[in-house]
Homo-oligomer: A and B are copies of this chain.
């Protein structure tokens, strides 16, 4: 059989609220539409719905903007209190230009506005912050699926990040559970007997990218299930493996 990988969007998820049991909801929604969750599947969950259930959608009303946040925002469309939250979620400012703040979040992700945004959430003064610990978010879903359905799955929490040099944004993994997010060919030979010295593929990001093709941005499909991809199981998966180490990064 030729290799085949497919991704199926899970429709009919309810509008989630803080404290909701996201794992139970996605299992129910998958069952409702007749999509089985099987051993070896990869469940990809978009960051926004995770942030919502974890109480990370907050109002900027009670936030006090620092003088720096006010100065940064001067002349730009963003509310200074929103900017204040970006600074609080960051551990390093990478670039700041024309209203764009590119920072490293305390998780270690380099992204615009510390991953905070205001789309797909109700209310005009609310914003969604990234989950505090996206790996833990992924593990909770993996554990719940194991407990309720008795199957082993991998889980990815995904978000859409821009990147240097290439236009527009793509979906990437920000939290992982149950699998090795990297696939290394180091030491393997290609079909011609050449050693492949340095190739490591970030399969977690490729799986997240694939998922975006069905979850999109406006369709209310925040969860998808990937079937047919043979990942390498790993109990202690961590988003740290997704981050280039500073000493190998020419663009800090």
Contacts and interface: CB of A to CB of B under 8 A. Distances in A.
Interface string A227-252: 01100000000000111110001110
A217 B201 contact: yes
Report copies per complex: 2
A244 B188 contact: no
A164 B205 contact: no
Contacts of A170: 201-202, 205-206, 209
A243 B206 contact: no
A143 to B, nearest CB: 25
A120 interface: yes
A61 interface: no
Contacts of A148: none
A11 interface: yes
- Output the residue of A167, A169, A196, A220 with the most chain B CB within 10 A: A167
Contact of A202 (B97, B100, B168, B207): B168
- Interface size class on chain A is 35 or more
Interface of A: 2-11, 33, 35, 95, 97, 100, 102, 109-110, 118-124, 160, 163-172, 182, 185, 188-192, 194, 196, 199-203, 205-207, 209-210, 212-214, 217-221, 228-229, 241-245, 249-251
Given A167-B244, A207-B213, 18 more contacts: A3-B9, A3-B219, A5-B214, A119-B194, A120-B194, A124-B194, A164-B244, A164-B249, A164-B251, A165-B251, A166-B172, A166-B242, A167-B182, A167-B243, A188-B218, A205-B209, A209-B209, A213-B229
Name the 9 nearest CB pairs between A and B, nearest first. Answer: A6-B6, A164-B251, A209-B209, A210-B210, A168-B202, A110-B165, A3-B9, A206-B209, A168-B200
